[in-house]
Structure 1
């Protein structure tokens, strides 16, 4: 009997073909396995029962492989071919001209078996900075093209030595057919370059550790880009890093050797430890200890949480190994280590992450005292992922990058779409995201792939990266978008580029129509991103109530939204209610100066005569009071919850001695940290009202807050009351509409106190609550929501997507 199988999923670059070879050989089957554009193809000859056995085993492939689908391409009774020297073989990959629908693995932290080899003195990979295997190491960031073969990666230039080649050909070796296999004799090399131009190639890691001991700042080339590293325990070094990087105040991430090293610096639940130790190795936000506040004051000043991670590259581990005295074996990795490193993105604030040696030497010349470089090229930028862990163990992603991107998400069809498994696949949509925390998302049939974090598009350099990515992302996947999706805001660079791209194809040749451009309202996209995550759950395509809570987004009426109660059904959304409007004195400036938002709140409560007294240290306060007292029809109005948090922070003067935020959301983050000291708290009685037309009136709460002097207690009550108010608001909308599902979305849901309080209150009311768990709740997830809405509009039988550019 003959059978040919097509296997789809994460099956390239993860040791899947060698594993299939081992299984087929053990069963005595004849045939071959090879990589293709869609995944892996297996050709089998043998007894039907044995082929059934192999087909069943495919679903149990060892991690990180993940089989999602197995199709039978051919089935016949033909005789097997004559037995060769290799009855079952791994054949060269084939690359068809159609779209690449295989899944390329994300970059994973070094595994325990590689660590054991790394720290065994008589192992040939002792202290090899590039040790990896099918279960760990770089994938996406070293991939030039698909299918995943060495020739298509940045390892192509490193020819295997005889010993590595023997491992590659040995079916019993754990690196059998491992595409990125190297060793110190044939692989990439590390060296340290100092500011005086000198280099150390003999003991670069030892020299790098000496530089850190001396208070220096090290630019270290990692998996998806450079890190800037210093000893977190040396306050002067941290201060220099902040000054040189122009990152005043914004929290810095830290790296510790192992979980045993965490307790002196951060509290950690079992759920949080599980995320920290996962192969993806994200940065996890953990509550700081008092010792961390005292001894690491410059790392996360005035915040309750510390962004912590574990080493994930051999190079990181080697620095900790040096600090531990270079012991043999791995026992030292189970014991607490004193070293705490600041490990932050290798760039100057506002610029893209640096990924190549030449740029690092140029752009980080005024930041770093030394560069720990290597000659394995980084082909794709991928910054560290950042998340916090909820009480139920799920993640709230703040940034999705290394370890997770570009892993795809399934997009199942449903009765509202034209296509099914027997028809042409759904059209491909390229969604462009928004202005801040930008990502791209492209759909391919029944899946969506979101790019790693790109950044804020108000920086010119980031716009260049974004523009290149918008071209390269579809080309890399050999997928031509059939439509584009973007935000409503006409001034967002993502919207402008989307409009340009829709007409680029038409201008290239007469007679070609512009691609459809589908604009999706900002807060609808927030809710839609969560619906896309939950698309396989019952009721996913029924109407829901959505709470979209963030700092800013253009509403369908042309005003500034941000505290929205929405009715959402697939590609349709209706605004049911909003927060009581708040003025923004000075426009966008008010988003950076909480005292202005506090002044606006006082104006709304009829207490504008208090402005100059409350903010006496601010030179502009008397002028603003006079302007507001006289009345102005030119004030921008917003319904944003983010701006309401700024107003609360301003009333409690949480930024003192500063009058302006030093980084995005600083006021809200410090307000949350203040509240954490008195959490949990009870909601303020009669602290809010809900009008008949579903406007949530926060004025009673803010009037109370304005008279408080115990800032931590007041901040906690503010959070508890807003959680209760939002829950009652959503529950009332559910009651009126006969609905049972509430979707929580938007950047404000990063706030763990608000998230936990709101989720608990809604659950107690018997409502089903959906929150983002795989993608960022803020603007980093917008591209997924845009793609989800656009795809449904295109696949509806009455689709009428307009190709017109945004107004």
Structure 2
């Protein structure tokens, strides 16, 4: 007997629009002999399938298991409906408003498109804008929703007949690929000099020729302009540093393939997977000794940021050069990356010798994402291209839409609704009105794409942040003030899909404390609803206030002065003799010397004391170079002290005294730097054990910019686990201030749910 026919409606939610999902469903249904239809709607994709139960069961399993590479399925709901006796399967027009469905991130060129790109007989041979439903730009070209060509920056390019046929063929991988185009109908490349004169010939060949000759070329990419130079040419790297006003911060390097990446850095399987994966972030990995690369690319660094080509343009340029090349943000130091065609030649004309341009507009400036891969672990440092706007789950769904405004530095914002958080691309430092304008426009654009109008806005306690002022000026919303380090711990909890409680270790540069001091070395007992400060680093003065951040030697002076029994003389004091006493008097008097418990300032003090970095040129430089300087083979440490009371006090000055004693005894500085890291880890473990004894909490969450430090994590996480703690670290969201908005949104969501009832 033949099996009875049934019909089911299958709703698939997540990133399932603009990724070839409907053509995948169409092909699968036809393969299994099923009738029905598929359509987009407000929440994702709706499928109706009719046929034998066994075939429908196979269909459902395949939808969950074999979806297109860019699809991210968050939920599948299946319900039986009456059979209609249909025989065919169709893709039908979208049903209703699609604003709730997620737009996918920009994704690296797929293998199929790469084959076409380098196939001399293919009509897209060497075409720099080749793409399909499985790869290419999405977020950076989307102007509005629903995600259709008319609402993207491809609207000005009318498809030719051949592209139109592909676009309308459900069996073609370019079916409804909104960026579909070819050399006949799509965007075009050109190369011009800094004076605006067009360079004749193939633009890719011309750009490669200039880079090989030591010139600097500005390249228009997916989310903005980059500056490219030969990574093996010392003079080119030095010239780029001088013109960009970037004295020490390492440059990222693009390599043509994994083999070249292996020549430059030590890569584990995790790093290889990230480099070659569809997101294509910059991957920070250990630099090989003797790697053939200019020393000015990453001066005095043991790590290098690598990335593989992620657009056809990059693939063509990398193949033409067949060598590593610098690919850094197209901007002067401290400014946002350029993405406006009308401004770029004027803004970058004094940096670049030539401009590799194209005529597809960039709607959203989106910088490259950065991750650190070491010993099988991944720490996100900047979540942007390739990741945004993919939603993240929230531990508690808010009854009302939420906005987290983020911090001032490394700003992101976060919109949340119905259990999903949409963390923005990297905005940068919001310190002036131009940056605030970008922040405001970003929230408005993001809100349109994900159909969120916030009714609750969370912001940092610091009244001077422009993001805080933005929140307080907002009308008709509920405001939620969130302490900076509570947001850090909430970000880590939510990143692990937990609500707490946990012992939160929040170590960073600074955050506004409700007691009027500058926090940054905090031990909290926290969940998404609140926190208690149960411990912190012993506060010391910051002589000169903000000046102490730019001049870490001042923190060394303050720490030594705060440490009983510290040596009277050190090499640093001799080098800074002319101003040392003045700085110490300022610290003692409290004049322009606010107290801080900042772990970042503790790292600064030790870095300066060891002569690693006494003055900085970029944020966190002293701490980064201290980690680079440390000998990772050293495992011993100094005695540490946790002073009892409420809250516990972690004795940083005593640790600095030990460092100074070791230095004066003639111990090599890499050994001392390692002992400092080991000792700080031991100090945190002891504090956590005391908190566990008092609270019975056995979970520790680590967050804050200091936990970008892989050496500290390598020492601290195993030590906590050996003592029976469950340790939460960041996996998808940066531990630095780039994750603050996610933590703010998670807190605001939980508070709103507690007051008004959770929506699940």
Please classify the TM superposition score into its range, dividing by the shorter chain length.
Answer: over 0.9
Q: Distance between the aligned counterparts of 1:691 and 1:754, measured in 2? A: 24
Residue 750 (structure 2) aligned to one of 775, 780, 792: 792
1:399 maps to what in 2?
382
Residue 314 (structure 2) aligned to one of 308, 316, 320: 316
Deviation at 1:295, TM superposition (A): 4.2
Deviations 1:746-792 (A, max 9, x none): 00000110111110100111110000110000100000100011111
Residue 532 (structure 1) aligned to one of 494, 498, 515: 494
Per the alignment, do residues 455 and 601 of structure 1 end up closer, same or farther by CA in structure 2, a change over 3 Å counting? same
1:75 maps to what in 2?
81
1:300 maps to what in 2?
298
Q: Distance between the aligned counterparts of 2:444 and 2:152, measured in 1? A: 20
- SS of 1:396's equivalent in the other structure is strand
Contact 1:352 1:461 in 2 (8 A): no
Contact 2:232 2:324 in 1 (8 A): yes
Q: Distance between the aligned counterparts of 1:663 and 1:524, measured in 2? A: 26
Residue 349 (structure 2) aligned to one of 358, 365, 383: 365
Question: Are residue 672 (structure 1) and residue 630 (structure 2) matched?
Answer: no
Q: Distance between the aligned counterparts of 2:711 and 2:395, measured in 1? A: 33
Q: Distance between the aligned counterparts of 2:283 and 2:643, measured in 1? A: 37
Deviation at 1:608, TM superposition (A): 8.4
- SS of 1:368's equivalent in the other structure is coil
1:698 maps to what in 2?
652
Q: Distance between the aligned counterparts of 1:609 and 1:759, measured in 2? A: 32
2:604 maps to what in 1?
646
Per the alignment, do residues 243 and 51 of structure 1 end up closer, same or farther by CA in structure 2, a change over 3 Å counting? same
Per the alignment, do residues 619 and 203 of structure 1 end up closer, same or farther by CA in structure 2, a change over 3 Å counting? farther
Per the alignment, do residues 23 and 647 of structure 1 end up closer, same or farther by CA in structure 2, a change over 3 Å counting? same
2:340 maps to what in 1?
356
Residue 41 (structure 1) aligned to one of 41, 46, 67: 46
- SS of 1:262's equivalent in the other structure is helix
Residue 14 (structure 1) aligned to one of 7, 12, 19: 19
Contact 1:37 1:147 in 2 (8 A): no
Residue 579 (structure 1) aligned to one of 537, 549, 553: 537
Deviation at 1:30, TM superposition (A): 3.4
TM-score by length of 2: 0.94
Contact 1:741 1:770 in 2 (8 A): yes
- SS of 1:135's equivalent in the other structure is coil
Deviations 1:91-133 (A, max 9, x none): 233442xx82212111111122222221121121111111112
Q: Distance between the aligned counterparts of 2:743 and 2:223, measured in 1? A: 26
- SS of 1:458's equivalent in the other structure is coil
1:716 maps to what in 2?
674
Contact 2:566 2:660 in 1 (8 A): no
Q: Distance between the aligned counterparts of 1:618 and 1:704, measured in 2? A: 20
Residue 63 (structure 1) aligned to one of 69, 78, 90: 69
Deviation at 1:427, TM superposition (A): 1.0
Per the alignment, do residues 35 and 356 of structure 1 end up closer, same or farther by CA in structure 2, a change over 3 Å counting? farther
Q: Distance between the aligned counterparts of 1:74 and 1:629, measured in 2? A: 73
- Report the more deviating stretch, 590-599 or 160-169: 160-169
Deviations 1:53-112 (A, max 9, x none): 4333321213221222223577224454xx6xxx3222233442xx82212111111122
1:93 maps to what in 2?
94
Q: Distance between the aligned counterparts of 2:71 and 2:690, measured in 1? A: 45
Alignment of 1:441-520 (within 5 A): 441-501=414-474, 503=475, 514-520=476-482
2:640 maps to what in 1?
687
Contact 1:546 1:568 in 2 (8 A): yes
Deviation at 1:257, TM superposition (A): 0.9
- Report the more deviating stretch, 308-317 or 32-41: 32-41
- SS of 1:193's equivalent in the other structure is strand
Deviation at 1:48, TM superposition (A): 5.1
Per the alignment, do residues 198 and 626 of structure 1 end up closer, same or farther by CA in structure 2, a change over 3 Å counting? closer
Contact 2:557 2:584 in 1 (8 A): no
- SS of 1:562's equivalent in the other structure is strand
- Report the more deviating stretch, 346-355 or 186-195: 346-355
Alignment of 1:48-447 (within 5 A): 49-60=54-65, 61-72=67-78, 75-80=81-86, 87-96=88-97, 100-200=99-199, 202-292=201-291, 295-324=293-322, 339-391=323-375, 393-413=376-396, 426-447=399-420
Contact 1:192 1:370 in 2 (8 A): yes
Per the alignment, do residues 610 and 59 of structure 1 end up closer, same or farther by CA in structure 2, a change over 3 Å counting? same
TM-score by length of 1: 0.89
Q: Distance between the aligned counterparts of 1:280 and 1:172, measured in 2? A: 26
Per the alignment, do residues 626 and 712 of structure 1 end up closer, same or farther by CA in structure 2, a change over 3 Å counting? closer
Q: Distance between the aligned counterparts of 1:740 and 1:613, measured in 2? A: 43
Q: Distance between the aligned counterparts of 2:63 and 2:101, measured in 1? A: 16
Per the alignment, do residues 634 and 171 of structure 1 end up closer, same or farther by CA in structure 2, a change over 3 Å counting? closer
Deviations 1:462-487 (A, max 9, x none): 22211211222223322211110000
Q: Distance between the aligned counterparts of 2:42 and 2:754, measured in 1? A: 29
Q: Distance between the aligned counterparts of 1:459 and 1:201, measured in 2? A: 41
Contact 1:93 1:147 in 2 (8 A): no
Contact 1:688 1:699 in 2 (8 A): no
Aligned residues: 747
Q: Distance between the aligned counterparts of 1:116 and 1:568, measured in 2? A: 52
- Report the more deviating stretch, 573-582 or 116-125: 116-125
Deviation at 1:426, TM superposition (A): 2.1
Deviations 1:705-733 (A, max 9, x none): 11314211110111111111111211221
Deviation at 1:288, TM superposition (A): 1.5
Alignment of 1:532-611 (within 5 A): 532-535=494-497, 540-606=498-564, 610=568
**Structure 1 residue runs without a partner (length 5+):** 325-338, 414-418, 420-424, 504-513, 800-807
1:416 maps to what in 2?
none
Deviation at 1:6, TM superposition (A): 2.4
- SS of 1:31's equivalent in the other structure is strand
Deviations 1:266-305 (A, max 9, x none): 221222111111111111111122324x742111112211
Per the alignment, do residues 626 and 794 of structure 1 end up closer, same or farther by CA in structure 2, a change over 3 Å counting? closer
- Report the more deviating stretch, 156-165 or 445-454: 156-165
Deviation at 1:627, TM superposition (A): 2.1
Question: Are residue 4 (structure 1) and residue 4 (structure 2) matched?
Answer: no
